[in-house]
Amino acid sequence: MSLLQVGKILELFYSTNNGRVNTTELTLDDKGVVEDKYYNKNIERSVLITSLDSYKLASQNGIDAPYSTLGENILTDYNPYHLKPGAQLIIGDLILEISQNCTLCKSLAKVDAKLPKLLKDDRGIFAKIISSGAIHKGDNIYLLDK
């Protein structure tokens, strides 16, 4: 097994009942993102990772979508959408395992009616936590090459 550096964390977010919070650090454990309103709800969908490419695609189609609009916990400069379930990303002590592609979300239509269809396969990817830890804005992301 080897590690391949694939990108960096650009932004981190969590959801509260009062909206989205941008932060410089997230703590994650086997139940999800600590402090997130979806904590311990669905382990297979504990963390949403989104690529900067999704926001670029929206922008290229005339849609203004500020970061966190897509509901991501982790915004990266790496596009992980090609990764298959079971692939693992390592960030610091944290190990994330890709569980599924992000599903179409009708709430994106509140931003722009075209956004749900446009990002159908490019909104993000869900992961579950294999090894707990804290991650920080600017951390490197590694792909575990099995």
* Domain range annotation of the chain: 2-145
Six-digit token string for 2: 């080897």
Q: How many Cα atoms within 13 Å fall on the side-chain side of residue 124? A: 23
6-61 pLDDT tens trace: 999 999 999 999 999 999 999 999 999 999 999 999 989 999 999 999 999 999 99
Residue 146, pLDDT score: 67
Residue 105, pLDDT score: 76
How many Å separate Cα 137 from the centre of its chain?
13
pTM (two decimals)? 0.95
CATH number of 2-145: 2.40.33.20
Six-digit token string for 83: 């990764």
Distance between CA atoms of residues 106 and 123, nearest Å: 12
Please give the mean pLDDT across all residues of the chain: 93
